[in-house]
């Protein structure tokens, strides 16, 4: 919620005595009101002990408990971090398909790719950051080499490809 937003508290709700919830209010924004419809939202203020700050959540869920709303939004942040990692490391900008099944398939594929990358990062002898590992793996896609050996010696030149290109067609230029 923006700092200094004009709102009115309709009712204040009871908050648990113990726990991170500081306030639980149903609020109304007069600036959004229309003659036939009023807009009510739920404003839940949670104390984040890790960051030592209050976090305010604005939602339209009126039936959930305030602690549940705090946990949902905290878990939602983990989902945001996951998608940020996908976009940064796998260079995914948008979803190819928009149906529920297409998005599910793309998320599962990306999750499998991330798990494989994390495994390779764990297995590697060199202390790679995930983004560096992905970038260097991308460069190695067109070089014939053993992945396990490359993880052990990432800066070694690729092995000679004796006999690999003997059957390759030659390009003859006519003048």
Model confidence pLDDT, tens digit, residues 4-48: 777 888 878 888 888 888 888 888 887 777 756 667 888 888 888
Task: Give the residue extent of every domain in the chain.
Answer: 8-86, 93-152
Residue carrying the six token digits 């009712």: 11
29, 5 Cβ separation under 8 angstroms: yes
Tens digits of per-residue pLDDT, 84-130?
888 887 777 777 888 999 988 988 988 898 899 899 989 888 888 88
Residue 169's pLDDT band (cuts 50, 70, 90) = low
d(CA 130, CA 152): 16
The residue-averaged pLDDT of 71-91 equals: 82
d(CA 120, CA 117): 5
Tokens of 174: 């006519």
- The number of C-alpha atoms within 13 Å of 89 and in the hemisphere containing its C-beta is 22
């Amino acid at each position: 919620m923006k700092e200094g937003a004009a709102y009115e508290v309709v009712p204040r709700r009871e908050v648990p005595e113990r726990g991170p919830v500081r306030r639980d209010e149903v609020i109304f924004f007069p600036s959004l009101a229309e003659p036939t419809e009023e807009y009510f939202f739920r404003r839940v203020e949670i104390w984040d002990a890790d960051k030592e700050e209050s976090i305010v959540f604005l939602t339209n869920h009126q039936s959930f408990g305030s602690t549940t709303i705090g946990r949902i939004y905290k878990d939602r942040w983990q989902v945001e971090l996951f998608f940020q990692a996908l976009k940064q490391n796998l260079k995914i900008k948008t979803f190819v398909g928009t149906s529920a099944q297409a998005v599910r398939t793309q998320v599962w594929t990306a999750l499998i790719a991330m798990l494989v990358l994390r495994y390779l990062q764990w297995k590697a002898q060199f202390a790679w950051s995930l983004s560096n590992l992905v970038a260097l793996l991308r460069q190695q896609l067109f070089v014939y080499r053993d992945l396990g050996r490359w993880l052990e010696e990432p800066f070694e030149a690729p092995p000679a490809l004796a006999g690999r290109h003997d059957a390759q067609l030659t390009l003859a230029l006519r003048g």
